[in-house]
Chains A and B, each alone.
Chain A
Amino acid sequence: MNNRRMFMFEIIRGAAAILVALIVAMVFIFICSDKPFEALRYMLVAPLITNGSISMNSIYTILAAMTPIIFTGLAVCVMFSSNQFNLGGEGCVMLGGFVAALVGIYWSTGTYLDIVIAVLVASAACAAVLYIPAVLKVKLGASEMVSSLMMNYIIMYVVLHFLNHVFADGSKGSVQTFPFAATAKIPQLVAGGSKLTWGFLIALLFTLLVALFMYRMRWGYSIRMIGINENFAKYSGMKVGAVIILSQVIGGFLSGMGGAIEVLGRYETFLWRDLPGHGWTGITVAILAKNNPIFIPVAAFFISYLNRGCTLMATYCDVPSEMVDIIQAVIFLFFAAEKFLAKYRQKLVVAGAKEEIAQKTASTPKAEGGEA
């Protein structure tokens, strides 16, 4: 049926999901705020406009927050496209950040090559890590979901072990590594105190690369076909097992890169004591982007905007910023609900089918055998 009509439907459906979430948010705001309208204004408008003019600083903050979740969103995109529920992105972000920091501290070359080396080593390490659940799934049929979840914790504790016992900077009050070399620090994109770095541009670049990979390269094509119908892929002659593994290795690579760029861009040392959560947000981002890499930055922007709005609302009004998680979850749930507005979709399909039949009967003679 009509592609454009379907596309419109998806947009309407997304808008409806967001609307439901905003209604939920409004209900909460009205319950807990004395000045609900101001709170709403902070949440929805303030991230862009403060005191009547566009606030660049706020926008920079949003863009900076987008950087890691673009990467994890892309990672989830690639992994889920092959129909693998690998949830190891979370651990990879932490590991990627840690490895990048170590490379930046101990293997510094004194040039800006440091960044490239640190990021690549970190990404490769994470790719290697997610190879494990992938192989276990393909060779033995062990659930990649459970084993990747376990990997997250193993990574976290191993990283903490090395952070606490091997690489800690004893002179500091809190546990952290030594600062990494200045040449390993990703430079800021704009002057001023914002955390927006060149990492953001790299994220956009990788969006393009992943989109190219998924839609313009044979491996990405195989990943998508396997995700849609594994039987079909096998019958067509694709190397199903190898491609499934590849998709998760790439997922690890991208998640690790997200972690590396976040740490090298935002901080001076590695100081995460816990899983940072970007991996999970990446899943939300990928769901909102309908697993299409090109939409990942849009979805990441939306999530970061929402976060920023809720932070501002919390700062200036009496509504805690954590409400954002509820809004996100509601949008997530409705976005992923196949049957949400299914009746409306059915109507569109029927209308499309009728149209098609009308066209067909006009163009070809009726194709039905006579009465026997």
Chain B
Amino acid sequence: MGNNEYVVQMQGITKVYPNGVAANQGVDFHVKRGEIHALMGENGAGKSTLMKMLFGLEQPTEGEIIVNGEVVSLTSPTVAISKGIGMVHQHFMLVPSLTVAENMVLGMEPKKGVFIDYKKAVQITEEYAKKYNLHVDPNAKIIDIPVGMKQKVEILKALVRGAKILILDEPTAVLTTQETAELFKELVSLKEQGYTIIFISHKLKEIKQITDRLTIMRGGKSMGVYETAGITEQDISRLMVGRDVILTVEKEKAQPTDVVLKVRDLEYTDSWNRKMLDKLSFSVRKGEILGIAGVEGNGQRELVEMLFHLNTPDAGSVTVNGKNILGMPQRKIRELGVSLIPEDRMVYGIAASGTIEENMISDRFDKKKFNKGMLFNMNAIHKESNELIADYKVLCKSYKQEIGMLSGGNIQKVVVAREFSSDPKLIIADQPTRGIDVGATEFIRKKLVELSREGAAVLLVSADLNEVMELSDSLVVFYNGNIAAYFEDTSVLNDEIMGEYMLGLKRQSDEEIRRVCHE
């Protein structure tokens, strides 16, 4: 295998998940020996899927993987490890109560007789730490060490298992600036020692700083391979954040009136000690759709959790029509006319083994209309379900069907039907059309516009740029838990401008941003 140029060649990779989502479509991905290669793309672009296949966590539907010139079948991480591939996952794969040294040697423990040779484990850890200049404390428990050190342990874990190719999945997402700088030094030194590094990220500055080449993915396809030195940040952003098919939604101009949702100075630091919401303030008015665009992981999820009391902020206030809703039980929040289409419909949106009907009425089953004394008024409930199924064009045999057996699009239509039909004053739509078919997508988008024109305030969170730009009347861009830009009129926007704000190349002045508070 000596000196062939490419260490990894993934050719014509297609991956179709059992639910029918084609996450990768004919992707070619080639990595040269000894380079730092960035794999870029928005969430859902298919980069994680591609890397999971390279690490043996998923198997491709079509295509072949060649490692060191040899066609391989990577059926499990163990096989991938044996081929010299190591992966540092975004969520660390460490056992918190074990020490660094124990985590290092897990599954390949050095032994003295029947016992673990713990000294040897420490020695191995120290040896590798020294060799690769990755300083860790072998005797500390994982639970006690900072995030930056955890990541070093992860890298060392891969190295000690003989990895020559390291996949790093958004390694800087959890790191502070200093830790990132340190990591980059270490990565460069690894490269100098002949290691190949695949670096998943969407942070342009970092990519420019340390990678040699980069592959950009979008919508499950490769947008090409580029020399990092030969491509501008603007070009990357354009390739990454472009729109494939432009779906347009007909809508009249919004006539926003009173402020419904008022968020002020919201702050939240998560258990990884990352500031996910940083003095966030904005307002949503009756009759408008305010879109939140941004690369995922910039605080959108946390914001939505706070708005529905699925989590508690450290500081700040949230009011709906003047009433403070922080700490309120969900029942009360709903009574104020707040609806939520949750990001992950399977976690919050539905009870999968319940029927369609049971899922339709979960927010209103105790209303007078659906009860006759102690008993349910089954006729009213059936009528409601049938009406919603008809109104929202849910494709099913009957309301008695188990909801988990429906397709993603139809499940989402049930969620949307429930959330939209409760006469909402404020709709929070978090990734309302993720992973569902075009028909359902279009339908849900139209409904959303319709409701806003009828007077609902809509907060739309979406990683789908097309969606957020087409649907929103005005729009904010999230970056690092805060608003990087506010656009009162979305019609003047294009992908390029958006990309620059989303990826942190630009930020509006505080005064410009403050306008979203409508004070």
Contact = CB atoms under 8 A, between A and B. Distances in A.
Given A216-B378, A217-B374, A218-B366, A235 B340 contact: yes
Contacts, number: 85
B438 A218 contact: no
Interface string A330-372: 0000000000000000000000100000001000100111101
A231 interface: yes
Given A237-B329, A238-B331, A228 B244 contact: no
Q: How large is the interface on A (under 10, 10 to 19, 20 to 34, 35 or more residues)?
A: 20 to 34
B363 A228 contact: no
Interface string B377-419: 0100000000000000001010011100100000000000000
A234 interface: yes
Contacts of A161: none
Contacts of B245: 369-370, 372
Nearest to B351: A228
Interface string B352-386: 11100010001101100001001110100000000
A231 B350 CA distance: 9
B60 to A, nearest CB: 20
A234 B348 CA distance: 8
A351 to B, nearest CB: 13
B401 A3 contact: yes
Interface in B332-354: 333-334, 340, 342, 347-354
B405 A1 contact: yes
B400 A228 contact: no
Contact of B348 (A225, A231, A352): A231
A372 B401 contact: no
B349 A232 contact: yes
A367 B350 contact: no
A221 interface: yes
Interface string A50-90: 00000000000000000000000000000000000000000
A369 B22 CA distance: 12
Given A237-B363, A364-B439, A369-B245, A229 B375 contact: no
Of A234, A235, A367, A370, most B-chain CB atoms within 10 Å: A235
Nearest to A215: B376
Nearest to A236: B362
Given A367-B438, A370-B245, A372-B244, A235 B375 contact: no
A195 to B, nearest CB: 34
A224 interface: yes
Interface in A183-237: 212, 216-218, 221-222, 224-225, 228-229, 231-237
Of A237, A239, A370, most B-chain CB atoms within 10 Å: A237
Interface string B297-310: 00000000000101
A229 B376 contact: no
B354 A369 contact: no
B334 A237 contact: yes
A216 B375 contact: yes
Nearest to B438: A367
Contact of B331 (A225, A229, A237): A237
Interface in B280-339: 308, 310, 329-331, 333-334
A235 B244 contact: no
Contact of A229 (B350, B405, B437): B350
B5 to A, nearest CB: 30
Contacts of A221: 358, 365, 376
A235 B351 contact: no
Given A232-B350, A369-B245, A225 B375 contact: no
Interface of B: 219, 221, 244-245, 308, 310, 329-331, 333-334, 340, 342, 347-354, 358, 362-363, 365-366, 371, 374-376, 378, 395, 397, 400-402, 405, 437-439
The 10 closest A-B pairs by CB, nearest first: A237-B331, A236-B362, A228-B351, A235-B348, A229-B351, A367-B439, A237-B330, A372-B244, A367-B437, A1-B405
Interface of A: 1-3, 6, 212, 216-218, 221-222, 224-225, 228-229, 231-239, 352, 360, 364, 367-370, 372
Given A236-B330, A237-B362, A360-B395, 6 more contacts: A216-B375, A229-B351, A235-B308, A239-B331, A352-B405, A372-B244
